[in-house]
Structure 1
Amino acid sequence: MAASTPPRPHRHEPPGPRTPIDQLLSELASRVDEIVIDRERLRALLDAVISIGSDLELAAILDRIVAAACKLVGARYGAMGVLDGAGGLADFRTQGLTREEIEALGDPPTGRGILGHIIDHPEPLRLIDLSAHPASVGFPPGHPPMRTFLGVPVTVGDKAWGNLYLTDKHGGELFTEDDEAIIQALAAAAGVAIDNARLYTELAASQAERERLVVFRDRDRIGRDLHDLVIQRLFATGLQLQSIVHLVDESEAATRINTAVDEIDGAIADLRAAIFSLHTDADQAFSATVKGLCGVVRHHLGFAPRVEFQGPVDDAVPELVRIEVLAMLREALSNTARHAKATRVTVVTAVDRATLVMTVTDDGCGIPPQAPRRGLANLASRAASLGGAFTIAGAEPTGTELRWTIPLGGEPSREH
């Protein structure tokens, strides 16, 4: 008699992180033990579980679940109803209906009839004839006829999250106990996949919020440094220069000192506007940001610009266009404050479906022909980078009108 082979020692593998697929397969294994299933259907179920676990986008997962359920039991039609927490449906994903049929049906179901029955009684339901059930309320006009039915709840954790609905098994056959069991196994794995997708979405949102906070902290630090170090030094330098003007006998030297003081004041105004931009929340309404920027230059102008809006300013302007337009407005207002000697400034922002037009009008001395054009050239370059145009015109009776016209919907180039 041959000696028996001693049992192999059991290997204890160190625990490691479980991937979403590991979790799905673990849930599937616990359910498969409860049903009798042939090898072909087991492979189909395994493929379905792997398929729904290969995506982390919730809508795509729901569509995969419905498609897999229809394939596993040979159903012509399938749907996933997502509960809204108030006894109805928040979302309804379908399989088997054509686009024309979906459009003809109009609004998706809200959770009445058989659908509402499973919401109220979250347990599997198999029917030979939908219309014979006491909870049936019939079909709306244009709905394809359906007879046999299989419904299974989907739970996430220990909470009902939605329901799988399957109708019209191919060949006119009835849904069987095995069909019910295999869809229950799929629903269990689907609950894990849905939970993973929701967790992934929450983590992604949390990470985005952390990154946003880091950006705002950096902006705050830069803004404080600019204000506490740069602006204060410039202001002190300007005061020192003003204090020695009366000591200078040469009129030309005194003029140059006063010009330098004006330039320092202009630099301070630019820095204050830049600090305001650093502290502007990207989610703030565009109109509020424009008003805030105009308020920043009030100190340097000696008065508040008049601000007007026309059209859907807060809704129609893409973020990248906002950034460039605000930079142009900041530079235009800074130039006006330094050179125009104006007593009135008006900023008008007008938006229609295709175009943004912003004008800055003042009643100042106008732009001398010999004035440097570097700032104006920069405004023209920024407008061109957005596919738009910048124009300069005289205002009546005196003053200047700066206007830039920007098409909406296009992507700005990176060249300035």
Structure 2
Amino acid sequence: MTEGRPRRLPLLVDAVLSVGTDLELRVTLQQLVDSATRLTGAAYGALGVVGAEPGGRVTELFTAGIDERARERIGRLPDGHSGVIGELLAHPRPLRTDDVTGHPLSSGLPPNHPPVHSFLGVPVLVGEDVFGNLYVAQKQGGPFTGEDEQLLRVLAAQAGIAIDNARLYETARQRERWISGTAAVTTALLSGGGPDAALTVVAEQARQLAEACAGVILQPTDEGGMEIVAASTQEDPGSLIGTTITPGSPVLEQLLGGEAVFVTDSATDARMTTPVSERFGPSMLLPLQSGGRLIGTLALPRVRGDRDYTPVERQLAGQFTSQAALALVLADARRSRRRLAVYEDRDRIARDLHDLVIQHLFATGMMLESARRRAEVPAVGQALERAVEELESTVQEVRTTIFALQQPPSDSPAGLRDRVLREAATAAALVGFQPSVQFAGPVDSRVGRRAGRGLLLALRRALTAATRRAQVSRIDVRVDADARSTDGAAAVRLTVYDDGEPAGDAEGTGTTVTWESPL
């Protein structure tokens, strides 16, 4: 044992203890890098976490000795396929050199990286699997020694045990979160609401559980493609809804076949052909299917540069979509039963109106008609004649009502009025109460398709903003098809008010959004 070993043993013990005291994985990894840097007297340290895919690459990097501003200037992570980092991944064994810039395998330092010469790297194993590589650089006072290498190997071995424990703990917590989220989705879907609101609930809950930047539901179209029908994002989801995957897309066959698709970078993957894919990085596209029936696809993209989904996250998300699909099928069956009950009740009301009310009205009319004929006073006869006419008019109105009751209501909204109500129902699923909706004028017949699309987009944005404001307990929506613009021309006007707390330093007790378009 060298003379310096006893003096460094307390540092090694402290390092091992600090690495093993926390069950949060990310905290444990950062403590490992900090301890390795102190233990070896290095100026810089890093831990590159290897991804789970074959031919793994560095997916996360924990550093010491470099502040956030310096990391941002350096930019990209090591690709793990070149240089001494690639050598560590290809051959997981210690690598020590006095001058890394002159090493035969060196591919140079990235731009804006601090000067580095001495280098020492060791693999971090969890069981028999390579979790990542721990490396330190630029030792103060000389090159790294064999003793440094032995100390770092001991620390990496102990870190492997601590990482395994932290991963087990994190996996248990993740499972608990996903199970609770699945139960919440099932409860929300079976408590009522329309099919569009149900899809939004699934997208919102999945986005939060997966720590994704968006939750998107796609459904097959009549043309053989797929379309985004529901979305949950931290920003405006309106730009995503309506986006389509056209027939012939490389990923479409997998999605329509009910296969899960995992993408490392949506912006560069050739299979991703939609314009919105350029915004995203790692993504999961999971089938929503139950009993052989494909309801759609749940897509969970993360922002570019974010970490990949782990195998555990992929497994938990797959289980979530299976349960969510079953809950959607059960919720649809429940809505069908309620709809059938409504149809039966309407049939009963129609029969009662026909068999009882109309017959009584008809009999009363005949009695009045007989009385009119026998009336000797002209004024009385005229009054009875008017009463008979009123009864005949009432009979016609009742017959019209009977006919309407016997017609099944359309499942899809036919006009702008129904679409506005659908958007309000979607917002209700997020805030827990039903927004108030008022219409003025003949909305369906007066507002054209172009103005209607603009109104719905403005409404969707206003409702999204309202649902995200704190302490919101009231949302009022008014659509006025009898409005006039400032120049007196006919217009349609949308007004959305909510009583939530205004954003920023704005004062007031609520927020009003107004949108207007000529007819």
Deviation of 1:125 after TM superposition, in Å, equals 1.9
Amino acid at match of 1:67: D
Amino acid at match of 1:403: T
C-alpha distance in 2 between matches for 1:409 and 1:55: 40
C-alpha distance in 2 between matches for 1:234 and 1:132: 81
Pair 166,231 (structure 1): closer, same or farther in 2 beyond 3 Å: same
2:63 alignment partner in structure 1: 94
Q: Secondary structure at the match of 1:349?
A: helix
1:187 alignment partner in structure 2: 156
C-alpha distance in 2 between matches for 1:153 and 1:245: 83
Does the CA contact (< 8 Å) of 2:417 and 2:443 recur in 1? no
2:103 alignment partner in structure 1: 133
Q: Secondary structure at the match of 1:173?
A: coil
Amino acid at match of 2:496: W
Deviation of 1:94 after TM superposition, in Å, equals 1.7
C-alpha distance in 1 between matches for 2:176 and 2:333: 27
Amino acid at match of 2:349: L
Match of 1:202 among 171, 174, 178: 171
C-alpha distance in 1 between matches for 2:470 and 2:56: 53
C-alpha distance in 1 between matches for 2:190 and 2:429: 23
Amino acid at match of 2:462: V
TM-score (norm 2): 0.46
- Larger strand proportion of the pair: 2
2:461 alignment partner in structure 1: 356
Cα deviations across residues 18-57 of structure 1 (Å, max 9, x unaligned)? xxxxxxxxxxxxxxxx999956634433332333334344
Amino acid at match of 1:70: T
Matched, 1:395 2:502: no
Cα deviations across residues 133-170 of structure 1 (Å, max 9, x unaligned)? 22223334433222222111111220222111111222
1:72 alignment partner in structure 2: 39
1:240 alignment partner in structure 2: 348
Amino acid at match of 1:356: R
1:168 alignment partner in structure 2: 138
Deviation of 1:383 after TM superposition, in Å, equals 12
Pair 42,145 (structure 1): closer, same or farther in 2 beyond 3 Å: same
Deviation of 1:404 after TM superposition, in Å, equals 1.6
TM-score (norm 1): 0.56
Bigger CA drift: 384-393 or 241-250? Answer: 384-393
C-alpha distance in 1 between matches for 2:179 and 2:190: 17
C-alpha distance in 1 between matches for 2:427 and 2:14: 44
Pair 306,46 (structure 1): closer, same or farther in 2 beyond 3 Å: farther
Deviation of 1:119 after TM superposition, in Å, equals 2.1
Bigger CA drift: 117-126 or 228-237? Answer: 228-237
Percentage of matched positions with identical amino acids: 29
Pair 321,238 (structure 1): closer, same or farther in 2 beyond 3 Å: closer
Deviation of 1:91 after TM superposition, in Å, equals 2.3
C-alpha distance in 1 between matches for 2:48 and 2:470: 49
Does the CA contact (< 8 Å) of 1:125 and 1:152 recur in 2? yes
Q: Secondary structure at the match of 2:43?
A: strand
Q: Secondary structure at the match of 2:113?
A: coil
The one of the two structures with greater contact order (alpha-carbon pairs below 8 A, sep at least 6) is 1
Amino acid at match of 1:115: I
Amino acid at match of 1:211: S
Pair 99,205 (structure 1): closer, same or farther in 2 beyond 3 Å: closer
C-alpha distance in 1 between matches for 2:31 and 2:87: 25
Deviation of 1:92 after TM superposition, in Å, equals 2.3
1:145 alignment partner in structure 2: 115
Superposition pairs of residues 326-345 of structure 1, within 5 angstroms: 327-328=434-435, 332=437
Deviation of 1:69 after TM superposition, in Å, equals 0.4
Does the CA contact (< 8 Å) of 1:156 and 1:194 recur in 2? yes
Pair 410,307 (structure 1): closer, same or farther in 2 beyond 3 Å: farther
Does the CA contact (< 8 Å) of 1:383 and 1:405 recur in 2? no
CA RMSD, 1 decimal: 5.0
Superposition pairs of residues 252-271 of structure 1, within 5 angstroms: none
Deviation of 1:187 after TM superposition, in Å, equals 0.7
Counting matched residue pairs gives 304
Cα deviations across residues 356-378 of structure 1 (Å, max 9, x unaligned)? 236xxxxxxxxxxxxxxxxxxxx
Bigger CA drift: 387-396 or 134-143? Answer: 387-396
Structure 2 unaligned runs (5+)? Answer: 192-330, 362-390, 421-425, 485-489, 510-519
Amino acid at match of 1:395: D
1:385 alignment partner in structure 2: 472
2:128 alignment partner in structure 1: 158
C-alpha distance in 2 between matches for 1:93 and 1:57: 14
C-alpha distance in 1 between matches for 2:190 and 2:473: 30
2:320 alignment partner in structure 1: none
Q: Secondary structure at the match of 2:106?
A: coil
Does the CA contact (< 8 Å) of 1:357 and 1:403 recur in 2? no
Match of 1:177 among 146, 162, 187: 146
Pair 156,218 (structure 1): closer, same or farther in 2 beyond 3 Å: same
1:81 alignment partner in structure 2: 48
